[in-house]
Structure 1
Amino acid sequence: MTADPTGPAVAGDRDPPAVDLFLLAAHGLPATVRYARAAEAAGLGGVWLAEHHFISYGQCPSATTLAGYLLGATSRIAVGTAAAVLSTRHPVALAEETILLDAVSGGRFRLGVARGGPWVDLAVFGTGLDRYHRGFAEALDLLRRWLSGAATVDADGEFFTFQDVPVVPRPARPIPIWTAATSPATVALAASRALPLLLGVHDDDAAKAAMLARYADIAAEHGHDPAAVPHASVHLIGLADDPAAARRQLRRALPPWLATTREYVRIDGTPPAHRDLDAYVEHLLRIHPLGSAQECAAHLAASAAVTGVHRQLLMVEGVGPAAVDEQIAAIGAELLPALTGTRQPSGSSPGSGSAVVQGGLQRLR
């Protein structure tokens, strides 16, 4: 039994992490809907949606809106945001949307937030650099209070000031918040409040473990039990007959997609720094699971042992649009059994799924 994603896991829990998908809407919104439905059919626990503005790297401008649609289009899986950009949103509006989605979905919605970047988004939405640099903690705390179950909330801060108002609808229970963290400041902020982290695809296991060790120290200083916090980690996945086949596929598909990150525009007009794409692709291929289901399962298990995360989010769009459906089917039919030692849940169709998997893995040769 995996840790309950709606609350802290039991300290010392050694069960395998839950496995979800991480979707950026890289191949368009209709494809993203199809991937989410496929994830449910494959037996995965959930999908998490990234949010971007004015950039084709990710084509979902509102993770909560798309989450609402996917919750209606599915019946079992959890749907989360990884992450809604808090620096361009009013925290009360985001909290109200969260409570609404939690209520109408029967508790299947998960909220993850991020600081975001110093992009032109801040100018378009009128929040500005001050909200980005100094206002994230205040916005996060206001969001937390609204989701805490309190009957009323007021604000008297630098960025948000209003009189005491009723929380309507009021959440049936405190709703947790995951926080995407790539900087020491955000790690410290989340740790001081015992908020679970969403760890990105860029860092290797050693870097993630170091980040979580720092988190644990700060959380303990504030009286929290860091072992009870259910962190999540994103992993690029390349299921294929062998690692070489996965590398070939990803070397073809990743560079043109990653090149779209160069569409970011800084709010001050200066050009953002650009990665060496070939070097970055090779870095990703070194640190993420590639190859057969058994090889990928071993990699994910080893990663979980190093980091201690409770949830692993698999980034499937990197293989390119022609292969994603087969990757998702392979995750359900081959990877999940390799990770857990169990077969697909009843109600799925392992026969047809296995056929799709075999076709997909042949394609990746």
Structure 2
Amino acid sequence: MRIGAFLLGPGVPGRDHAAVLDTTVAAAVAAEEAGFDDVWVAEHHFMTYGLVPSAVTLAGYLLGATRRIAVGTAVSVLSTQHPVALAEQALLLDNVAHGRFRLGVGRGGPWQDLEVFGTGAEAVGPGFPESLDLLLATLRGPTVTGAGPRYRFREVDVVPRPRTRPHLPVVLAVTTRASVAMAARRGLPMLLGMHAGDAEKAAFVREHGGPGPHVSAALAYVADTRAEALATVREALPRWLAPGLAGYRRLDGAPGSPRDPLAYTEELVRRHGIGTPDDAVAALSGSAARTGIQHVLLMVEGAGDHARTCENIARLGAEVLPRLRSGERG
């Protein structure tokens, strides 16, 4: 298995935003030291669910703060930015980080950021395939032309050329069957979120065409006993989720219906590796067997503070990752 860390920069009430982001940076460095294969950072706008408004910017910083580990975006929200500009940033990082950068992109939702950035609701509807194709065309180069209804421009050279050959790969976040088909038609691996269960993920893998280099996110927290781990997560997660989930404001002004934070916490606890290292190995290896996905990203910031986050990463690296890589089923 390939095991990465998934970093949100969760805005836990009572914690200074600078302190949260310091912890996120420290978590990436700790993940490299603990033997994780990669680190992926999420992007959110105008909400405390995640304090990172530019995943590619933070990824660039983390690439400079580390030496071995790959760093990716999970995801860069394509609907709020120009696809050529995002591709240029990705190509720049691909070059200066010697191929350690990974690009994950997603549609986003009908949220207020579409109004703020002026891209509009079409960017997540009929305009999204055009944006995705233009991003891919730019990454593949050596030239690109805009010939669609949203983006029209004459042929230009793509600079810099990718360091990763034949081109920088892309992972697409998928939440619907339509998105599965979009990824499959373009030969893109899927990124499946921690909100989705194994049955849904397995169905999406089958619809895509079977096992491949897909990526699955999961929550992971380990302690000496399962009771201790559950108590920590049940105390910390709802405090972050309640204001964080409420930050999703629809572009059309319609009232939202955010998940209940307590119910969502229990849903995540049931699905993912919360407990002892043995519990984590069993949950993660079982999920891989059921879904066919061998690349998992562990959301490691669930405890909500600096010390416990770094301790969780260290314990996962020492007591869980080697067993998963050896094929142990727990």
After TM superposition, is the score higher than 0.5? yes
Taking the TM superposition and a 5 Å limit, the aligned residue runs for 1:1-365 are 17-26=1-10, 28-148=20-140, 150-172=141-163, 173=165, 174-216=167-209, 226-227=210-211, 229-259=212-242, 260-321=244-305, 322-341=307-326
Paired AA for residue 234 in structure 1: A
Counterpart Cα distance in 2 of 1:232 and 1:169: 27
| Contact 1:242–1:290 (8 Å) recurs in 2 | no
Question: C-alpha displacement at 1:119, in angstroms?
Answer: 0.6
Counterpart Cα distance in 2 of 1:38 and 1:241: 20
Question: C-alpha displacement at 1:338, in angstroms?
Answer: 2.2
Counterpart Cα distance in 2 of 1:159 and 1:332: 46
For residues 308-343 of structure 1, give each alpha carbon's deviation from its aligned partner in whole angstroms, at most 9, with x where no partner exists: 11310000111221411110010111112222349x
Counterpart Cα distance in 2 of 1:298 and 1:263: 34
- Which deviates the most, 49-58 or 274-283? 274-283
TM-score, normalised via structure 2 length: 0.93
Counterpart Cα distance in 2 of 1:320 and 1:168: 41
For residues 140-159 of structure 1, give each alpha carbon's deviation from its aligned partner in whole angstroms, at most 9, with x where no partner exists: 111111111x2211011011
TM-score, normalised via structure 1 length: 0.84
Counterpart Cα distance in 1 of 2:252 and 2:108: 15
Counterpart Cα distance in 1 of 2:301 and 2:273: 14
- Which deviates the most, 106-115 or 283-292? 283-292
* 2:310 counterpart SS class: helix
Paired AA for residue 163 in structure 1: R
Question: C-alpha displacement at 1:306, in angstroms?
Answer: 1.1
| Contact 2:77–2:107 (8 Å) recurs in 1 | yes
- Which deviates the most, 297-306 or 73-82? 297-306
| Contact 1:237–1:288 (8 Å) recurs in 2 | yes
Counterpart Cα distance in 2 of 1:77 and 1:186: 29
Counterpart Cα distance in 1 of 2:82 and 2:139: 14
Q: List gaps (5 residues or longer) in structure 2.
A: 12-19
| Contact 2:3–2:38 (8 Å) recurs in 1 | yes
Q: List gaps (5 residues or longer) in structure 1.
A: 1-16, 217-225, 343-365
Structure 1 segments of 4+ aligned residues over 6 angstroms from their partners? none
Equivalenced residue count is: 315
Question: C-alpha displacement at 1:187, in angstroms?
Answer: 1.3
Counterpart Cα distance in 1 of 2:270 and 2:21: 30
* 1:237 counterpart SS class: strand
| Contact 2:122–2:128 (8 Å) recurs in 1 | no
Identity across matched positions, percent: 53
Question: C-alpha displacement at 1:38, in angstroms?
Answer: 0.6
| Contact 1:233–1:312 (8 Å) recurs in 2 | yes
Paired AA for residue 75 in structure 2: A
Counterpart Cα distance in 2 of 1:341 and 1:136: 40
| Contact 2:10–2:304 (8 Å) recurs in 1 | no
Counterpart Cα distance in 1 of 2:261 and 2:21: 25
RMSD: 1.3
